[in-house]
Amino acid sequence: MENIHQRATQTLFDKQLITEEQHEQIVSYRSLNIFSLNAELKIFLYLSVLMFTSGIGILIYQNIDTIGHSIIISLISIVTVICYYFSFNRAPEFNKSQTYFESPVMEYIVLTANLLTCILIGYLQIQYNTFGTHYGLATIIPTTIGLFSGYYFDNKNVLSIAITGLAAYIGLTVSPQSLLQNEIYNTDSLSYAAIGLGVVLILWNYYSSIIKLKTHFALIFLTFALHLISISCINTIIDSDYYLVFSAILGLSTYFFYISSYKIKSISLFIFAVLYGFIGLNITLFKIIDYMNLTDIFEFILVLSPFYFIGAIILFIMMIKKFNSEFKK
């Protein structure tokens, strides 16, 4: 690895992209063998938040009869209020562009506060039936708080949780009886709702780009939209008689996210868009073959399938290389 960095530095100097003084400074800096632990520390902080909130859940489950509901609710509420107090106290002034806490630890305190809010509201609903049969309220309230916190504190983790809660809320409001009767997979309305939510996320991301509101959240919105639309379309293509309609929707979706991946320079968005499009295309082809009853050529297709998939893999690798090369120029 060191030789690679040395050659890269020398190449920049040979092409006169850096001066001799800059070259010496880079070589001198690399000789110190300093490396960053920023990513590793953030992973440990993230794990600590998950372990802390999970530990609270386990504590509640194991000691529900001995501690008492009032004490548990009070403790969770106190810790949640403390987390929000420090978050608001240390948060930078709200700005449409990206903002940062002075200490990255505060980002995880915001995440802890949001997770504890979800636990508290869920606990109140399960234990005291606070919202009655309006189960969606137990989801939409922490989701609303999460959306506010995600934007106000500029926290991508909290925003992701909030969007997940929004998806859960959509599922509950579309077919609550199907959910309670374990018939959630027997209704297409949830797939339609997921596609609708994906479109809403795309439109909101577009509107945010126009008003310049937290444009760095684009990857989060587009990633959720990609998975919601693509998985729902593939599910409907498999089970529905209107598979050609949803194949067309998936095709348009794949093209949109393919273009978007270049705009925001996201390799993950590019890969998933291509994979979903490939899966949907193949399922549609098999449905057409089955519908046209072309059983005579089925054996021929099986013979060619290894070459087809090998060619698809090679093409996929070439596309990724092309994508990476576009941003190395």
Q: How many CB atoms lie within 10 A of CB 316?
A: 14
| Nearby residues of 65 by Cβ (< 8 Å), 6 or more positions away | none
* CA dihedral (12, 17, 23, 27) positive or negative: negative
- List, for residues 115-167, the tens digit of each pLDDT value: 899 888 988 887 788 887 777 888 899 999 999 999 999 999 999 999 999 98
d(CA 2, CA 179): 56
The DSSP string of 58-108 is: HHHHHSHHHH-HHHHHHHHHHHHHHHHHHHHHHPPPP-SS----SSTHHHH
d(Cα 300, Cα 302) in Å, to the nearest integer? Answer: 5
Residue 172: predicted pLDDT: 55
Helix count and strand count (H, E) for the chain: 14, 0
Distance CA(39)–CA(165), nearest Å, equals 27
Is the whole model's pTM more than 0.85, yes or no? no
pLDDT at position 184 over 60: no
- Tally of residues, the chain: 329
Looking at the predicted structure, is the pLDDT value of residue 170 above 60?
Answer: yes
Q: Report pLDDT digits (tens) over 195-223.
A: 999 999 999 999 999 999 999 999 999 99
Q: ∠ CA(50), CA(88), CA(114), 5° rounding? A: 30
Phi/psi at 34 (5° precision): -90, 135
Assign 104 a pLDDT band (cuts: 50, 70, 90): confident
Does residue 272 contact residue 320 with C-beta atoms inside 8 Å? Answer: no
Which 8-state DSSP code applies to residue 182? T
Structure tokens at 329: 């120029």
Owner of token pair 């998936």: 250
pLDDT for 178 beyond 60: no
Answer for the pair 23, 14: CB distance below 8 angstroms, yes or no.
Answer: no
pLDDT digits (tens, 9 = 90+) for 5-53: 667 777 776 777 677 777 777 777 677 666 666 666 777 777 887 787 7
Model pLDDT for residues 87-103, shown as the tens digit of each residue: 999 999 999 999 988 88
Give residues with Cβ within 8 angstroms of 204, minimum separation 6.
221
Give the residue from 220, 176, 216 showing the smallest Cα distance to 202: 220
Q: Helix H segments across 213-266?
A: 218-239, 243-263
Strand (E) or helix (H) holding 270: helix 267-291
The rounded distance, in Å, linking the Cα atoms of 254 and 123 is 40
Cα dihedral angle (190, 196, 200, 201), rounded to 10 degrees? 60
Nearest Cα neighbor of 55 from 130, 10, 116, 4 is 116
Check whether 181 has a pLDDT greater than 60: no
Q: How far is CA 118 from the centre of its chain?
A: 18
